[in-house]
Amino acid sequence: MRSVDHTSFVIHRMLNGEPARCFRAFSQAEAKRQWFSCDERMETAEYSLDCRPGGSEINRVRLLGGEDHLYLAHYFDVVPDHRILFGYSMHVGDRRLSASLVTITFQPRGEKTLMTYTEQVAMLDGLQEVEERIRGTELGLDNLERKLPQL
């Protein structure tokens, strides 16, 4: 059955590091690749990141013997150390699960950074529940927090 469910969610994280470090973790390919996964069993088949207005990101991963999971992003607005705005779609095999608009902001809080992640998402055809998307995003951000001191 064809359907579209629209929703949004916001995640706030107080990150250990100044905004420039936190921004780099999202905007530089080698840094982002180290933490950007919701499942450590996933193997990367393809990854690229060009975090600038008009740039794109591709992350193709798979579980052993499983279908490809594909994340395709397009960057609309990037203000170094302050804001990233992009749209992305998620696919499993030949099925598109969703399309989203994401805004990430970085606000200094002493030696830390308040990161606010806001996602507006269209969940397509009942192929994924929003709770699963939120949990996957939170798991990725948990990885970011663990790896941020090394980035």
pLDDT tens profile 12-71: 999 999 999 999 999 999 999 989 876 777 788 899 999 999 999 999 998 877 889 999
Q: Which domains does the chain have, with CATH numbers?
A: 4-150 (3.30.530.20)
**Residue 74 confidence (pLDDT):** 98
pLDDT value, residue 14: 98
pLDDT score of 58? 97
Instruction: Please tell me the distance from the alpha carbon of residue 28 to that of residue 91, in angstroms, as a whole number.
Output: 23
Across the chain, what does the average pLDDT equal?
Answer: 94
What is the arrangement of strands in the sheet containing 83-92, beginning at the earlier edge strand? Answer: 4-15, 112-124, 95-109, 83-92, 68-79, 56-62, 43-49
Q: Which secondary-structure segment (H or E) carries 143?
A: helix 130-147
C-alpha–C-alpha distance, residues 33 and 140, integer Å = 11
Using only C-alpha atoms, the chain has a radius of gyration, in whole angstroms, of 15
Q: pTM for the complete prediction?
A: 0.93
pLDDT tens per residue across span 58-116: 999 988 778 899 999 999 999 999 999 999 999 999 999 999 999 999 999 999 999 99
